[in-house]
Structures are given as structure tokens and as C-alpha cells.
């Protein structure tokens, strides 16, 4: 570290002076860390600037937010939709979890997506990312990983429902996930984190040499796994570039250790860079293998392969972020106070073996503070890195960091802001696209400690909203969240085009239509019971506040499927269907068809009712299922 670096860091981490400045303005969170320059600003003008920033985040009743935010739900397995800057929660999209309100995991339409033989009730959703065309969000799909059960899901952003879930074979624990940005999102890139035996069939559990993990690419349209790439070490986070040719992933376990101490043995792990062009060409030419029963093409990207290059970086790196100008991959050091900046325009030379050392692609390794996890960008040349251990966000200038690394003595730290507490991801508005606009920054803090009314030993997380439009970052809002958003993505509201009612030919309930056609039933008009052995299909319509049928008869032991078509055309008039004592509940939004299948074991009378409030006579929207003794 140079003298200048030392001074930068001393200023940046602030010590006593930073604490002192905090003083009475702590609530505003305005912390000057650019040295004396900031101290010149009076307490009064800071307070005024903070007040102005906070006012920008106030969305008055009846007003709409400027941004959609999509939050992962962590081990709750869902995705949440927020309005930003108000941080109001707009919607929840169940994905890997079961949801009582919408019937996700209960309805046949959701089982078509989850798999009818799916037995998993949990998921661990970390990384939500929106499909792109030419490096800009196109608003079609959102993709998200499930670390818990090695899956990747796709959400249709027109109806805000999950429409595909893919189980990735041959690997365990899909963690990092990012999308190809250019020319468009053809591939969803995702990392399997844990090293496992190959094949993992109980025959080979001791010989670690043969154990490995893989980088995966999923076809964004078909959601089939397009290829897998064997790597050395493990894989953590990933991102893609703006040429469509490269992706890069962090590895924290180059040691292939099984224990904690072992994963920290090496001072450097690495970033593995994938040459997507070469991999796709090899797969197309049939130069690949397969594993076990899986048809997925597998290529070997371990050291020495033409498909990958390994760039050593310190130490147990975590986040991997591409700058929105397309110039850099930034790997966040976690156990090193640094981030490593990789120049993407040097990767051609790296792959053509024109560099004497793989680390020649690194153009700077700025020291930022303790526990750098993730970096985001404002589109004006500044980066914002979360410092988990310091509980801060460091704002720094990328080109200044590069000049400093080249030997010039340059201050690259612009500001450090306290956040509460222990931030994981952060995300600036539109930061993963060419449109990064540098207005808002969300910091997803893992601990909230004393920031909210206590609600038992389990605490919420704290997603903090920070105004980054000016020179100083200003904290404007605390947002408690339930377990456990890992990450979020902010898009302009005009980039998403949600439907207000369903189209009657929506593929989301195509299988109901197929069955109705086989039964000679018109979903839009018929109220009819069709018996098929001991399978009974009950078709009914709904118009607030009635179902098309207020009674139907079945026999004990029947397997009953109820299909409901909501004929209401008025926005927001959603009905529900709940069959009492049968574990059946579902949403039927305007012009939607939904269905659920259950077995009737008990003879007797069972009421069904509408459980989405739809009308003044909502309570009266009900009917009876009469189950005759077998
Ligand atoms: S990771 S806190 Cu699952 Cu995105 Cu970094
Ligand atoms: Cu229909 Cu409530
Ligand atoms: Ca390591």
C-alpha cells in the first residue's frame, strides 16, 4: 500500500472524525468522508440536503413510483415486487414456495410449472435478473435461482407469474445467476456452488480428485440447459459482459476444501472467465460429453482448457459485477479489503495467450474497507461497494482507482456511508444495463438490530434506500423485510408492461383449456360436471358475487378437479375458491381460469367459498359440494 493509499483509507474509514460528524445528523446518515471538503458543508446545509433527499422518496397517497423493484425472497422462496422510491410492497410472486392466497403449489397451473411430482416445499431465491435486448432491460422475463434445490425459475413480467422452472442436472446448489446482455438474453448463466462426486451415485464419495462443479447456461426461451462447463475449484457469483462473448465467475474455494479453515488457506482464489463463443461452438460441433442419463452437453473448462481462463484474485472473492460502460468485471474480495478490476478488452489477448500472466488483465485492485461483497454503479464512473464487516457502503471512482494502481497518487474514495447493518448486496437503479441512471441505491443489510420495533428474537433485514443523485450519498429510508431478500433489481416503470386482466388465450392456463375441449366443455359459458371413472371434473364460471354452480355432487373416493373461469372483465375483481376442509385455495383473477385437484375421502356436505374479497356480497359467494357415501 502506498502512503497515499494509507491516507485515503484513513480518511475513508474516518475513525473519530467520521463518528464526530455523525453526531446529531446521524438520522440523515450524511457522512462526509472525502476529507476536509465535506467538513466545510455546515451542519445546517447537510440537514437541508438530507431533508430534500428524503422528500424525493415520499410518494404521496395516490401517486405512483418511478421504478419497479424486484426483490428475491431468499429462503422464503418467493419474489417480491416493490415500488421505488416509496419502498411500498406491491406484490408477491410465489415461485419455489407454497402460497395459500394464490394457490401456488396447490393449483394444477402451478403444478404444471413446479412439476406434478415436485415434493419440495422450499426454495432459496437469491438473484433476480431481468431479460435484456442489446444491454437494456426488455421487461419480458425475470429469472431467479434456487440454491436450495438446484433450480432456476422464470417469471413472466406481463402477468407476474412464474411460468417455467428448470432443475439443473449433475450439480448442486445454483447460486450466482446473471443473464447474457448482448445481443439479447439467449442464455441464463448460473453457477453451481458445491463440489460433488461425478457421477454422484454413491460409487465415488472419497476420491476428491474426481469431484467438481459446473458453470451452467440455460436457454432463456426453452428453459432447457444448453451446456455445462466443468471448472476447477467452486463457483460463487457471476456476470456477463456487453459483447455477448464473455462471462466471469468468482471462486472462493480454489482449495476444494471441505472445511472452513481449508477454504481460507490460499491468499488468492480466482475469477474464472468463460469464453461463451468457444463453448457454444464446441457444443454445436458435438465436441462434448454427457454425464449419466442427462442429455446436457458438458465441456471441460478446467485449467489448460480453451474455454476458460483463471485470473488469480484475493481472497475468497464473492460478488462479480460488470460496469455498465461494459469495460470491467469487478470481483469483490470479501476476505481481502480490495476489489479486483478486470479489463474486459484484455480478455481476447488472455484467451489468445498473448499475456505472460493472467493477472495482466487486472487494471486496479483498490482497497476499500473490510468485507467487500458486491459493487454497483451510477453510470457516471463511480462504483458503490458494500463493506460487510465495516457496515458501510464505499463510493469510489473507477478511473481514479486505475490511475492510482498505475502509480499516480490519486484519491479514489469519494465517500463512505454507514448502513445498518452488515450489508450484502447493493443495487443502483438500472445498474446492470447500459441505462444505469445513478439515482437510487438500495442496500440490503443483513441485520436490523435496533432499527425497528422488536418483533421477537427473529429480526427483519433492513433494506436501506440511498439517494445517490448528488455528490453525497444520503440515506432516506429504512425498509424492513422478512427473510431474506438477497438481492434486488430496479427498473424504470416504463420498462415493464403488466397486463391488467388475463387474455383468454393465455398459455398459463392452456392445460385447462385442453382438458375442457376433450370434455366438450366451453370454459367461458359452461357449468357442468363431467364424470370419467372415479375422476370428476367440475367446470364452473364466476361473476361477482356468484359461482356458476352453487351445488355439485360427487362420490366418496372420487378425485375431483374444479375448474373456475372468472368471467368478470373489471380490473381488480379477483375471486377465490376455497374448498373447506380439503386444503384447496386459489386465486382466479379477471378472465383467468384456475383449477385444483383433490380427493374426497369423507362423505357429507362441504362448503366452498370465495376467499378474495370481490363484492359487497362476497360473503355470500359460496356453494356446497355434496359427497355421497361410497
Ligand atoms: S450472494 S450477500 Cu447469494 Cu448474492 Cu452476496
Ligand atoms: Cu368472489 Cu369474493
Ligand atoms: Ca479460498
Query: Rounded to whole angstroms, how far apart are CA atoms 82 and 67?
Result: 8
From atom 1 of ligand 2, which residue's Cα is the shortest distance away? 575
**Residue 116, marked binder:** no
544 Cβ closer than 6 Å to some ligand 2 atom: yes
The ligand whose atoms approach the alpha carbon of 424 most closely is: 1
Question: How far apart, in whole angstroms, are the C-alpha atoms of residue 148 and residue 145?
Answer: 9
Q: Within a 10 A sphere around the Cβ of 408, how many other Cβ atoms?
A: 10
- Alpha carbon distance 356, 349 (integer Å): 10
Give the Å distance between the CA of 256 and the centre of ligand 3.
8
Ligand at shortest distance from the CA of 314? 3
Cell of 93: 410472486
- H helices of 81-232, where? 108-114
Backbone angles phi, psi at 68, to 5 degrees: -90, 140
Say whether 550 sits in a helix, a strand or coil. coil
DSSP 3-state assignment of 283?
helix
Question: Is residue 618 a known part of a binding site?
Answer: yes
- Is the CB of residue 127 below 6 angstroms from any atom belonging to ligand 1? yes
Query: Could you report the average pLDDT of every consecutive run of 10 residues in the chain (630 residues)?
Result: 41 36 35 44 84 92 98 98 98 98 98 97 98 98 98 98 98 98 98 96 92 98 98 98 98 97 98 98 98 96 98 98 98 98 98 98 98 98 98 98 98 98 98 98 97 97 98 96 96 98 98 98 98 98 98 98 98 98 98 98 98 98 98
Q: Are 59 and 86 in contact (CB under 8 A)?
A: yes
Does the beta carbon of 612 sit less than 6 angstroms from any atom of ligand 2? yes
Residues 233, 319 contacting (CB under 8 angstroms): no
Q: What is the pTM of this model?
A: 0.93
Instruction: Tell me if 578 sits within 8 A of 585, measured CB to CB.
Output: yes
Instruction: Please tell me whether 486 is known to bind a ligand.
Output: yes
Could you give the CA distance from residue 502 to residue 519 in angstroms, rounded to a whole number? 23
Q: How far is the CA of 622 from the centre of ligand 2 (A)?
A: 9
Query: Is the C-beta atom of 486 inside 6 A of ligand 1?
Result: yes
Tell me: is residue 615 an annotated ligand-binding position.
no
Q: List the domains of the chain with CATH numbers.
A: 130-145+162-355 (2.130.10.10), 510-628 (2.60.40.420)
Among residues 117, 63, 113, 109, the alpha carbon closest in space to that of 86 is found at 63
Phi then psi for residue 481, to 5 deg, are -135, 145
Cα(98)–Cα(118) distance, rounded to whole angstroms?
A: 11
Ligand 1 pocket, mutate which of 72, 74, 75, 126 (most atoms under 8 A from CB): 126
614 C-beta closer than 6 A to ligand 2: yes
Question: Ligand 1: does its nearest atom lie under 6 Å from the Cβ of 424?
Answer: yes
Residue 140, ligand 1, Cβ within 6 A: no
Residue from 128, 238, 425 to probe ligand 1 pocket by mutation (most atoms less than 8 Å from CB)? 425
Q: Is 129 labelled a binding residue?
A: no
Q: Is 545 in the pocket of ligand 2 (CB under 6 A)?
A: yes
pLDDT number for residue 194: 98
Amino acid at each position: 500500500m502506498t502512503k497515499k493509499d494509507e491516507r485515503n483509507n484513513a480518511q475513508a474509514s474516518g475513525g473519530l472524525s467520521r463518528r464526530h460528524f455523525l453526531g446529531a445528523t446521524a438520522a440523515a446518515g450524511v457522512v462526509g468522508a472525502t476529507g476536509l471538503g465535506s467538513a466545510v458543508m455546515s451542519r445546517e446545509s447537510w440537514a437541508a440536503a438530507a431533508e430534500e433527499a428524503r422528500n424525493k422518496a415520499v410518494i404521496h397517497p395516490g401517486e405512483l413510483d418511478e421504478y419497479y423493484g424486484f426483490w428475491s425472497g431468499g429462503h422464503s422462496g418467493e419474489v417480491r415486487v416493490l415500488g421505488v422510491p416509496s419502498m411500498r410492497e406491491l406484490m408477491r410472486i410465489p415461485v419455489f414456495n407454497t402460497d395459500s392466497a394464490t394457490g401456488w403449489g396447490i393449483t394444477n397451473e402451478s403444478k404444471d410449472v413446479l412439476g406434478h411430482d415436485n415434493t419440495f416445499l422450499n426454495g432459496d431465491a437469491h438473484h433476480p435478473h431481468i431479460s435484456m435486448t442489446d444491454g437494456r432491460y426488455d421487461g419480458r422475463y425475470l429469472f431467479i435461482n434456487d440454491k436450495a434445490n438446484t433450480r432456476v425459475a422464470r417469471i413472466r413480467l406481463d402477468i407476474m407469474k412464474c411460468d417455467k422452472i428448470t432443475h439443473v442436472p449433475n450439480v448442486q446448489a445454483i447460486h450466482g445467476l446473471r443473464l447474457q446482455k448482448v445481443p439479447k438474453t439467449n442464455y441464463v448463466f448460473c453457477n453451481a456452488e458445491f463440489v460433488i462426486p461425478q457421477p454422484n451415485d454413491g460409487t465415488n464419495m472419497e476420491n476428491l480428485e474426481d469431484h467438481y462443479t459446473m458453470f451452467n447456461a440455460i436457454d432463456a426461451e426453452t428453459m432447457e440447459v444448453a451446456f455445462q462447463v466443468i471448472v476447477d475449484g467452486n463457483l460463487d457469483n457471476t456476470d456477463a459482459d456487453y459483447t455477448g462473448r464473455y462471462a466471469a465467475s468468482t471462486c472462493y474455494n480454489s482449495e476444494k476444501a471441505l472445511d472452513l479453515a481449508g477454504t481460507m488457506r490460499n491468499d488468492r482464489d480466482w475469477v474464472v472467465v468463460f469464453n461463451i463463443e468457444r463453448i457454444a461452438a464446441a457444443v454445436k460441433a458435438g465436441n462434448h460429453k454427457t454425464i449419466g442419463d442427462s442429455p446436457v452437453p458438458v465441456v471441460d473448462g478446467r485449467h489448460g482448457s480453451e474455454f476458460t481462463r483463471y485470473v488469480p484474485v484475493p481472497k475468497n472473492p464473492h460478488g462479480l459485477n460488470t460496469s455498465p460502460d461494459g469495460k470491467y468485471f469487478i470481483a469483490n474480495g470479501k476476505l481481502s479489503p480490495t476489489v479486483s478490476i478486470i479489463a474486459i478488452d484484455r480478455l481476447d489477448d488472455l484467451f489468445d495467450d498473448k499475456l505472460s500472466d493472467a493477472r495482466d488483465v487486472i487494471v486496479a485492485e483498490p482497497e476499500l474497507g473490510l468485507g467487500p461483497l458486491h459493487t454497483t454503479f451510477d453510470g457516471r464512473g463511480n462504483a458503490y461497494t458494500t463493506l460487510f464487516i465495516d457496515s458501510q457502503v464505499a463510493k469510489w471512482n473507477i478511473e481514479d482507482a486505475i490511475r492510482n494502481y498505475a502509480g499516480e497518487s490519486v484519491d479514489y474514495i469519494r465517500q463512505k456511508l454507514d448502513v445498518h447493518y452488515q450489508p450484502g448486496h447493493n443495487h443502483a437503479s438500472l445498474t446492470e444495463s447500459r441505462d444505469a441512471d445513478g439515482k437510487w441505491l438500495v442496500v440490503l443489510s443483513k441485520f436490523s438490530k435496533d432499527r425497528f420495533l422488536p418483533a421477537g428474537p427473529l429480526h427483519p433485514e433492513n433494506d436501506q434506500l440511498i439517494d445517490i443523485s448528488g455528490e453525497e450519498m444520503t440515506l432516506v429510508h429504512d425498509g424492513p423485510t422478512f427473510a431474506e431478500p438477497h438481492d434486488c433489481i430496479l427498473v424504470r416503470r416504463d420498462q415493464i408492461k403488466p397486463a391488467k386482466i388475463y387474455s383468454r388465450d393465455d398459455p398459463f392456463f392452456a392445460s385447462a383449456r385442453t382438458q375442457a375441449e376433450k370434455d366438450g366443455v366451453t370454459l367461458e359459458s359452461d357449468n357442468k360436471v363431467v364424470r370419467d371413472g372415479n375422476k370428476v371434473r367440475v367446470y364452473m364460471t364466476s361473476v361477482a358475487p356468484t359461482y356458476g354452480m352453487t351445488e355439485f355432487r360427487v362420490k366418496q373416493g372420487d378425485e375431483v378437479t374444479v375448474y373456475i373461469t372468472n368471467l368478470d372483465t373489471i380490473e381488480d375483481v379477483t375471486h377465490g375458491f376455497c374448498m373447506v376442509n380439503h386444503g384447496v385455495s386459489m386465486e382466479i383473477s379477471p378472465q383467468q381460469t384456475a383449477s385444483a385437484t383433490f380427493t374426497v375421502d369423507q362423505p357429507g356436505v362441504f362448503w366452498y367459498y370465495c376467499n378474495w374479497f370481490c363484492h359487497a356480497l362476497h360473503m355470500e359467494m359460496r356453494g356446497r359440494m355434496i359427497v355421497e357415501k361410497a
